[in-house]
Amino acid sequence: MIRPRRPFPAEDVAGHYDELDSFYRRVWGRGLHHGLWTRGDESPEEAVDNLVEEVGREATLKADSRVCDVGSGYGQPARLLAQAFGARVVGFTLSARQAEEARRTPASLGPQPEFRKQDFLHNDLPDGSFDAVIALESTAHMEDKPAFFHQAQRLLTPGGRLVVAAWTASESASPGQRRLLLEPICRYGRLPGLGTPTEYEEWTLEAGLDLLRTRDLTREVRRTWSIILRRIPIRLLHRPHTWRYLLHPRSRHRDFLLAIPLIWLAQRLGSFRYTLLTAVKNAQE
């Protein structure tokens, strides 16, 4: 596990997304996760939807499937799952601004998702509430990652699936890559810890879930950061308010800008990975 020099509580993660709200939306849009390029010629918007649809297929969603979206952001994945699969989605986010925006934007088709501003690790939902639990890049923001897997196991109905798209650290990352790339990424990105694919598999099994597969999608998603690096000066050039925020010494989360080129480099060096994990709750439970 790669850890930053100091821990980041849940409220610091929430503050990160609340303060950087306008920056994220102007640079990348409402889907705050990687794009997945399967053909190679998709637009960024199509690639973002590709990833959500791939998660939906891994979760074997169908009409009226009950889905818990952990780290639901602005609600784009939940709305797409409702439209594409007819799923009934409950989303969890720590960010007040994200929850407000998600509730304001309805799904054009399918059941309307529900969004909660609540820490998923301290939810009050009954056992067996969901046919699927999904997490798109949110587990990196959790201090207690094993607790996430235990909560997912508790909330899944027997035969239900967990699908996690996660930022992970390569087991083969060199000491220099860990010190100069991965630890600063954690620090600037408000990540309490960056686990390896093997650790994710271990947490899955320790929670009592059956591991189905782990896939490395780094090559298919890494174009995301090249696009973001190009967009930053173009999208923000005529936005003086955003630049004033990013340059102001009292802006607590402006250092995330430093993480972006580090993520781009770490993905190309192979030390920063993108893992898609699928697990199932034993049908006999």
Say how far apart CA 131 and CA 284 lie, in whole Å.
Answer: 15
Say how far apart CA 104 and CA 115 lie, in whole Å.
Answer: 10
Query: What beta strand segments (E) does the chain contain?
Result: 66-70, 88-93, 114-117, 130-136, 156-169, 210-216, 272-280
Q: Tell me, what DSSP letter sits at residue 86?
A: -
Say how far apart CA 200 and CA 206 lie, in whole Å.
Answer: 10
In the chain the domains, ranked by start, together with CATH numbers, are 10-280 (3.40.50.150)
Entry pTM: 0.90
pLDDT one digit per residue (tens) for the chain, 285 residues: 888 777 766 676 766 666 666 666 677 676 678 999 999 899 989 999 999 999 999 999 999 999 999 999 889 999 999 999 999 999 999 888 888 988 988 878 788 999 999 999 999 999 999 999 999 999 998 999 999 999 999 999 999 999 999 999 999 999 999 999 999 999 888 888 999 999 999 999 999 999 999 999 999 999 999 998 888 777 666 666 666 666 666 666 667 778 889 999 999 999 999 999 999 998 766
Say how far apart CA 241 and CA 238 lie, in whole Å.
Answer: 9
Tell me how many degrees the CA angle 73-221-8 measures, rounded to the nearest 5: 45
Reduce the DSSP state of residue 116 to 3 states and report it: strand
According to the 3-state scheme, what is the secondary structure of 141-171? HCCCHHHHHHHHHHHEEEEEEEEEEEEEECC
φ, ψ for residue 214, nearest 5 deg: -130, 125
Q: Tell me, what DSSP letter sits at residue 120?
A: G
φ, ψ for residue 114, nearest 5 deg: -110, 140
